[in-house]
A and B are shown apart, each in its own frame.
Chain A
Amino acid sequence: MTRTATGERDTVLRLDGITKIFGALVANDAISLTLHRGEILGLLGENGAGKTTLMNILFGHYVADSGTIAVEGRPLPPGDPAASLAAGIGMVHQHFTLAENLTVLDNIVLGTESLWRLSSRRDAARSRIRKLGEDYGLAVDPDVTVASLSVGERQRVEILKALYRDARILILDEPTAVLTPQESAALFETLKRFVASGLSIIFISHKLGEVLAACNRVTILRGGKLVADHDVAGVTRAELAELMVGRPIPEAKSEPRAPGAAVLRLGRLSAARGLLSLRDVDLEIRQGEVVGIAGVAGNGQSLLADVISGMQQPSHGRLELNGATLHAVTPRAMVASGVARIPEDRHAEGLIGDMTITENVVSETYRSPALSRFGLIDWRKARTRAEDIISAYEVKCPSPDVPVRLLSGGNMQKLILGRVMAEGPKLVLANQPTRGLDVGAVSYVHARLLEARSKGAAILLLSEDLDELLSLSDRIAVIYRGRLSPLRERRETTIADLGLLMAGHGFAGGEDSHAA
């Protein structure tokens, strides 16, 4: 551990020996760290390293099993979000905590006045929000409902919530996950303005580049332990990466391979649901290639995925699988056509937590002649199949008869992979397949996807993680407001190009059309 000479500066926050244990898991192991006035501290670590737990303790959502927290030298009572707020700690959550049907003003003033007042001081609040917005370049109309705001604007509201409460310490949890690279850069500028005006910031991320670009100092968590505390000056990405992971990462390398015949072909396909829409999407995926789709969350990726998984009937256009046009787009038709569907949300869509592993494994195939006769399911055969998948896909579980909700996220994802890929699919739809997984599980999922590719499957990968897209894809397209850019070869693509496309440059009716 390296110590740097920062001790003389004001310490605004001190965590001392924080330990938190969940069952057998030591989420935080005697973590101590300090935050100084006017600095941006990067908190770096993989998923599951303990970053979120630590911040939840700081914010009063959890109580530490041992250890103390002091803000400006005063101890912070544990387990009391109101006390953390009062001490000037503001948190911008990764998943925004906004009530969508209420106005920006309502979301910001909530909890800032005594609850027993007979009337809320709304006019004063409104002008103060306007002023804060102007001062920091975070302008938002206070009287519109949050539901009508873009993702970037919602993040501004989240930050305004903290500023409105005179937060002195701002914690941002993976703030760039939902932003384009350009928006992220703008956010970093805003953060620099904050620290210049005396705020202190903890910036949580698992992206090395961002931490190096935005922070003054970086603290690294690994497996619940604090493993490093460095000034940013003088460290390299490689050093940070090794500290974060603790072992060399097996890079998923996709060897170039001659693609075969088209498996999936979308022709001027449109679909609409609520405010989301897909417009005239053309796409072709061939055997033995990975096609990646990049885009900022909420631009129609989920709708595209829903069409291909059979959950959404297109309104116009053609959907061809293996050369045959599909008219009734349903989950069953997709499964029958050999589409392996890895859903975006394991808990909500992928698995039924209260049912057993066996019951989940057969959820797509229980009607097949192999598993049922005369409407009765042969559970013995189903259990055998579950056992096969458990061993082939290294799912860690006591038996196929336990409810799926007891599995870890990584094992759940392996189970889904086993369910959909065991039959040798023709097309794999992987929608955010590694979201929220630890590094081991991520590389396992990547390896299995590439294995399917080498066996001749076509893979459609939707991801918000540009690094993942660039390392796995053969060709990449960007989705923006329901339109899909033409596919381009991965080798001829840079992050900067993708960033421009993700911000709408190059799309008809996009922000600008000078960069195609």
Chain B
Amino acid sequence: MEAIEILFTASLWAAAIRIASPLIFGTLGELICERAGVLNLGIEGIMTAGAFSGWLAVYMGADLWFGVAVAAIVGATLGLLHGVLVVPLGLSQHVTGIGVTLLATSLCYYFYRLAFPEVTSPPKIDPFQPWPVPVLSEIPVLGPALFQQTPLTYLAFVMVVLVAWFLERTPLGLAVRTVGENPAAAEAQGINVTWVRIGAVMAGSALMGIGGSFITLSAFNSFFFDMMNGRGWICIALVVFGAWRPGKALLGAVLFGAFDAYQLRLQQLAGAVVPYQFFLMLPFVLSILALIFMSRRVAYPRALMVPYRKGER
């Protein structure tokens, strides 16, 4: 009974939204890349780099928002690297993405150790504080869940609308979608496929960077090794689950967050009987199940993972 009551508590849903926030950024970022036809497996490393660089900037005295901007710029830079390697050079998107993840992660760890050679407990910063929206935050259940979050969470929701508008309503968004569906069609209409794809990967990677910075600037207040813990890979599964649509991706991320928050609470209830690892496994198992469930139903971008070499037949 208790297990069901939890579902109606505000704290569960507040936690769900909190857990979902970095995933929303990451999923939107991956979604933009994939709509342009580029799989970005660098996401795990790019989110780590966003978490580290944003946190380091704030630690060195910068404003929190400046830290977010640093994370976005670092993300975009790594996106540029991935983009240049896979778009004009046409390298394998799988291998390059893994390479970018390995490189970004190891660079973070290298610089962390360089900056803090001998710390035992990780240095801390003052993170974003909750920012209750007047009036709305007073609504029962919904208020605490949705309107007593940190500003970065609000930004995540705004980004969903902006990305959806961008893709569906703007000429540039149409160009992004077309290069992901049929680059030759875009080329024939005078669109520079290379630049649109690189630009999309950079923009998407910037969002991934911001998603990473949420972890160190909003959810926690310090940087640890392995703190991304597969969130990037989960974002990739969420893109498929969301059928490459921003709105559905948001839904997927929130559902995922709710599930994760729920299993944390169940863990406390059933911890004595069921090993805690079982609960920690569930999000990953859920992602795989979601992929199987969605596998046959969706129209994926037709040119995803297909390199476009001008003039090649």
Q: What is the interface of chain A, defined by CB distance below 8 A to chain B?
A: 56, 61-62, 81-82, 85-86, 91, 93, 97-102, 106-107, 109-120, 161
In the complex, how many angstroms separate the beta carbon of A419 from the nearest chain B beta carbon? 23
Q: Which residues of A contact B177 (CB under 8 A)?
A: 99, 102, 106
B191 touches A117 (CB 8 A): no
The 9 closest A-B pairs by CB, nearest first: A111-B189, A82-B190, A99-B181, A97-B188, A99-B182, A97-B185, A113-B171, A115-B172, A85-B190
In the complex, how many angstroms separate the beta carbon of B2 from the nearest chain A beta carbon? 47
* CB of B184 closer than 8 Å to a CB of A: yes
A110 touches B191 (CB 8 A): yes
* 26 residue pairs bridging A and B, Cβ less than 8 Å apart: A56-B311, A61-B310, A61-B311, A81-B190, A82-B190, A82-B192, A91-B188, A93-B188, A97-B185, A98-B182, A98-B185, A99-B186, A100-B182, A100-B302, A102-B174, A106-B174, A110-B174, A110-B178, A111-B175, A113-B171, A115-B175, A116-B171, A116-B172, A118-B170, A120-B171, A120-B174
A100 touches B188 (CB 8 A): no
In the complex, how many angstroms separate the beta carbon of B176 from the nearest chain A beta carbon? 10
A99 touches B171 (CB 8 A): no
Could you tell me which residues of chain B, from 150 to 209, have a CB within 8 Å of some CB in chain A? 169-172, 174-175, 177-178, 181-182, 184-192
In the complex, how many angstroms separate the beta carbon of B63 from the nearest chain A beta carbon? 28
B191 touches A120 (CB 8 A): no
Q: How far apart sit A91 and B188, CA to CA, in the bound complex (Å)? A: 8
* CB of B299 closer than 8 Å to a CB of A: yes
Could you tell me which residues of chain B, from 206 to 220, have a CB within 8 Å of some CB in chain A? none
B188 touches A99 (CB 8 A): no
Q: How far apart sit A120 and B174, CA to CA, in the bound complex (Å)? A: 9
Q: Which residues of B contact A120 (CB under 8 A)?
A: 169-171, 174
Q: How far apart sit A245 and B164, CA to CA, in the bound complex (Å)? A: 55
Q: How far apart sit A190 and B254, CA to CA, in the bound complex (Å)? A: 54
Q: Which residues of B contact A117 (CB under 8 A)?
A: 170-171
Beta-carbon nearest neighbor of B192 in chain A: A82
Partner of A110, one of B175, B184, B310: B175
Give the residue among A56, A62, A98, A99 with the most B Cβ atoms within 10 A. Answer: A99
Q: A106-B177, A115-B171 are in contact. List 15 more A-B contacts (CB 8 A).
A: A56-B311, A62-B311, A85-B190, A99-B177, A100-B302, A101-B299, A102-B174, A107-B185, A110-B175, A110-B185, A111-B175, A115-B172, A118-B170, A120-B170, A120-B171
Q: How far apart sit A112 and B184, CA to CA, in the bound complex (Å)? A: 16
The B interface, classified by DSSP as helix, strand, loop or mixed, is helix
Q: What is the interface of chain B, defined by CB distance below 8 A to chain A?
A: 169-172, 174-175, 177-178, 181-182, 184-192, 299, 302, 310-311
Q: Which residues of A contact B188 (CB under 8 A)?
A: 81, 91, 93, 97
Q: How far apart sit A145 and B185, CA to CA, in the bound complex (Å)? A: 14
Beta-carbon nearest neighbor of A96 in chain B: B185
Q: How far apart sit A306 and B141, CA to CA, in the bound complex (Å)? A: 59
In the complex, how many angstroms separate the beta carbon of B171 from the nearest chain A beta carbon? 4
B185 touches A119 (CB 8 A): no
Give the residue among A107, A116, A161 with the most B Cβ atoms within 10 A. Answer: A107
Q: Which residues of A contact B178 (CB under 8 A)?
A: 99, 102, 106-107, 110
B175 touches A100 (CB 8 A): no
In the complex, how many angstroms separate the beta carbon of B146 from the nearest chain A beta carbon? 27
In the complex, how many angstroms separate the beta carbon of B170 from the nearest chain A beta carbon? 6
Q: How far apart sit A110 and B189, CA to CA, in the bound complex (Å)? A: 7
In the complex, how many angstroms separate the beta carbon of A469 from the nearest chain B beta carbon? 26
Q: How far apart sit A461 and B189, CA to CA, in the bound complex (Å)? A: 37
Q: How far apart sit A161 and B172, CA to CA, in the bound complex (Å)? A: 18
B186 touches A111 (CB 8 A): yes
Q: Which residues of B contact A81 (CB under 8 A)?
A: 187-188, 190
Q: Which residues of A contact B190 (CB under 8 A)?
A: 81-82, 85-86, 111
B186 touches A110 (CB 8 A): yes
Once A110-B189, A110-B191, A161-B189 are accepted as A-B contacts, the answer to whether A97 and B172 lie under 8 Å apart by CB is no
Partner of A119, one of B170, B189, B191, B310: B170
Q: Which residues of B contact A93 (CB under 8 A)?
A: 188
Q: How far apart sit A363 and B187, CA to CA, in the bound complex (Å)? A: 37
In the complex, how many angstroms separate the beta carbon of B119 from the nearest chain A beta carbon? 46
Q: How far apart sit A117 and B166, CA to CA, in the bound complex (Å)? A: 10
Once A101-B299, A111-B175, A115-B175 are accepted as A-B contacts, the answer to whether A85 and B181 lie under 8 Å apart by CB is no
